[in-house]
Amino acid sequence: MTLARAPGKLFLFGEYSVLAGGAAVVAATDRAVRAEALPQRKQGYRVRGARFAEPRRLPELVAEVFRESLGTSPNIDALLLDVTDLYHDGEKLGLGSSAASTVALVRALGPALEDRQVFDIAMEAHLRLQGGRGSGADIAASAFSSTLLYQLRSPSPGFVDILHPPRLEFSVTTEHALIEPDLPFPPELAIVATWTGAPARSTSFIRGVMQALSTHHSEVAHLMQTLSDCAVQGHRALQEGSARGVIDAFQAADSAMEALGSVCDLPIVTDAHRRLRELTAPDGVVVKPSGAGGGDFSLVAGTPETVEELTAYLGDVTIRVA
């Protein structure tokens, strides 16, 4: 029996800059992690769909935060976590599987919790899992199961005083972040994400950007500010129902991510993504990397008609965002 479902995420805007207190727009996907109840005779926490070196560490951290924040001691041994949907042929897709797993566990162990409470507990447990680092935007997209505007209340360690944070309005305020869920998509806009078949470790890319800040500070800071500005532009376009505005923001963000990779000597934009640009350019469709880049997913944005015509030429894993 499925107890909880937690969707994976795709960054639309604000990669890297979100760590410095910039804006980000993140979408929940239709691929999700599921938490299932184990029959009593088979109890003993387990994971389906992937192999982890320490499979119990995450649920134990979630249970730890439950005890501290709610005074309860949930039974993690009655759960099976199914992450199959966020993997492909044994490879982890860049959909935030650990974040979605955390949210699925929180929802399974606390079925009466509101979305904000789910985010708070999952955020704290995930930070402990990652040594205090991470933006939590993937946690928010999964906890609120929607496309949302996101901003950290304080920059992540290593990214302090880099940006001029935007002044935006949010309906949800938490200890860690500001969140505006349920952003609408214009009907004249279609966005799909296609997997380029090269899984990337976002943590290594983030370390590379941090290292580049010490040697090329002004260039890196300027490009991260541009990425945050693109998120603000994209958010405004979504609110106004402007498909053209979203596409223009995608194009500017794609250029900024390419430039950031060049300055940091990182393959944020890959050859596979450049080939996708060449494929889509004649149709007036815009592409950009989603997340840290280096492979994983590229976003394809245009009118519904042009994007539909291109889907047959995209990768084995294609996810519709809008």
Average pLDDT over residues 120-144: 95
Domain identity same for 214 and 169: no
- Any idea which of 176-180, 242-246, 270-274 has the lowest mean pLDDT? 270-274
77 and 98 inside one domain: yes
Centroid of chain to Cα 227? 15
- Rounded to an integer, what distance in angstroms lies between the CA atom of residue 4 and that of residue 108? 5
Angle at 203 between CA 95 and CA 249, to 5 degrees: 60
How many structural domains are present in the chain? 2
pLDDT mean across residues, the chain: 94
Amino acid at 47: V
CATH code of the domain containing 70: 3.30.230.10
Question: Residues 77-105: pLDDT tens digits?
Answer: 999 999 999 998 888 899 999 999 999 99
pTM: 0.95
User: Residues with Cβ < 8 Å from 12, sequence gap 6 or more?
Assistant: 25, 26, 27, 147, 191, 231, 234, 250, 290, 299, 321
pLDDT(20) > 90 = yes
Residue 120 lies in a domain: yes
Residue 157's pLDDT band (boundaries 50, 70, 90)? confident
Domain-ending residue, one of 127, 159, 180: 180
Phi, psi of 130 (to 5 degrees): -105, 20
Tell me what pLDDT residue 96 has.
94
Same-domain pairing of 194 and 174: no
Q: 266-306: per-residue pLDDT in tens?
A: 999 999 999 999 988 878 899 999 998 888 899 999 999 99
Give 57's pLDDT tier (boundaries 50, 70, 90).
very high
Query: Which of 180, 206, 221 delimits the end of a domain?
Result: 180
Mean pLDDT across the stretch 21-42?
Answer: 93
**185 occurs within a structural domain:** no
In the structure encoding, which two tokens stand for residue 306, read together?
A: 């042009």
Neighbours of 84 (CB within 10 A): 13
